[in-house]
Amino acid sequence: MSNRLELSGLVLKTPIRKLSPNGISHCQFYLEHVSEQIEAELPRQSWCVMPVIVTGQNELTHSIKKGSKVLVSGFISTHNKRSNIPQLVLHACEIKLIV
């Protein structure tokens, strides 16, 4: 089964960096994507805000700030928010700063 997503955009808010109880680092941020795509041979505006989680040691996460342009690829999974509303989250396997 395939589960891969690649998305580029702007980091909307200052990333949250945490250590789990077992010492694994996590970096969480919201990525805003805006583009024009072709659907049924017509241009269409595409916009989304996707939560992203980077788990484990990744030197690049310290360079990510609000307003950074990044390209993220990874897999998606559902997380339940505190309000018990399911939300899709992009778990980053690769991340690159776009300059």
- pLDDT tens sequence across 17-28: 998 899 899 999
pLDDT of residue 14: 95
Range of the domain at 65: 5-94
Residue 67 resides in a domain: yes
* 35 falls within a domain: yes
Q: What is the CATH number of the domain that holds 28?
A: 2.40.50.140
User: For residue 82, is it within any domain?
Assistant: yes
Report yes or no on 79 lying in a domain. yes
Rounded alpha-carbon distances, angstroms, from residue 9 to 23, 32, 68: 29, 5, 8
- Strand-pair partners of 63: none
Write the pLDDT tens digit of every residue in 39-98: 999 999 999 999 999 998 777 888 899 999 999 999 999 998 788 889 999 999 999 999
Q: Is residue 40 part of a domain?
A: yes
Predicted model pTM? 0.90
Does residue 99 belong to any structural domain of this protein? no
Q: Please report whether residue 81 resides in a domain.
A: yes
**pLDDT at position 65, please?**
94
Predicted local confidence at residue 51, as pLDDT = 97
Check if the beta carbon of residue 87 is closer than 8 Å to that of residue 67: no
